[in-house]
Amino acid sequence: MAILEIVEYPNDVLTTPTTDLTRDEIKSSEIQTLIEDMIETCLHAGGLGLAANQVGVGKSVIICRKPGTIKFITVINPVFMKGVGKMNSKGEGCMSLPGQFFNVERWKKVTILAHDREAEQKIAATKSKKLAKILQHEMDHLKGLTLIDVGKKVT
């Protein structure tokens, strides 16, 4: 495993939508290594989630830390299906925008359709507001959006 360099804004990879992976690509050693390296990088940086484009890879891969643990879930090719209950995420930060914080309107719970790291497609619904916020944040990255695009900077 390796610790990867986290790309900082305004790098073009952060503002370019990522591409989906095929089932064979998901199972490839290249993507499996990327997932392990992203987890290692996120742990090293003290982050809660990371999108592949934040480490310079334009693929639709996210890793998210399960709240209150050091365990991670892998989300590949996510599609937003439903959101429940609006909330204001106050002072949300991002490893690609160090030292900057934004207020962002997010859903309290989300349902998504995505592949896991074994390339199985599943529907998943969050139970935790924290995980819902992390997923939405990382899914924004996959669309080429940063907190600058979706939030209001805290002064």
Phi, psi of 139 (to 5 degrees): -65, -35
Instruction: Give every CB contact of residue 12 below 8 A, 6+ residues apart in sequence.
Output: none
9-20 per-position pLDDT tens digit: 999 999 999 999
Whole-angstrom Cα distance, residue 149 to residue 142?
Answer: 13
pLDDT for the residue 2 = 97
Asked if the structure places residue 3 within a domain, the reply is: no
User: For residue 90, is pLDDT > 80?
Assistant: yes
pTM of the predicted protein model: 0.97
Whole-angstrom Cα distance, residue 88 to residue 8?
Answer: 24
Asked if the structure places residue 136 within a domain, the reply is: yes
pLDDT for the residue 126 = 96
Whether 102 and 147 have beta carbons less than 8 Å apart is answered as: yes
Helix ranges (H only) for the chain are 23-27, 29-45, 129-142, 147-150
Phi, psi of 13 (to 5 degrees): -60, -25
Domain with 18, as residue range(s), is 12-153
- Average of pLDDT values for 70-80? 97
Whether 9 and 23 have beta carbons less than 8 Å apart is answered as: no
Could you tell me where the beta strands, DSSP code E, fall in 68-150?
A: 72-92, 102-115, 121-125
Catalytic option among 5, 105, 118, 138: 138
Chain mean pLDDT for the chain: 97
Percentage of the residues of the chain whose pLDDT score is greater than 70: 100
- Is the omega angle on the peptide bond into residue 98 within 30 degrees of 0, that is, cis? no
- Average of pLDDT values for 109-125? 98
Whether 8 is catalytic is no
- Average of pLDDT values for 24-28? 98
Phi-psi map region of 107: left, alpha, beta (phi>0 left; psi -120 to 50 alpha): beta
pLDDT for the residue 74 = 98
Asked if the structure places residue 4 within a domain, the reply is: no
Asked if the structure places residue 122 within a domain, the reply is: yes
Asked if the structure places residue 2 within a domain, the reply is: no
Q: What is the CATH number of the domain that holds 35?
A: 3.90.45.10
Asked if the structure places residue 58 within a domain, the reply is: yes
Total tally of structural domains belonging to the chain = 1
User: For residue 155, is pLDDT > 80?
Assistant: no
Asked if the structure places residue 51 within a domain, the reply is: yes
pLDDT for the residue 1 = 85
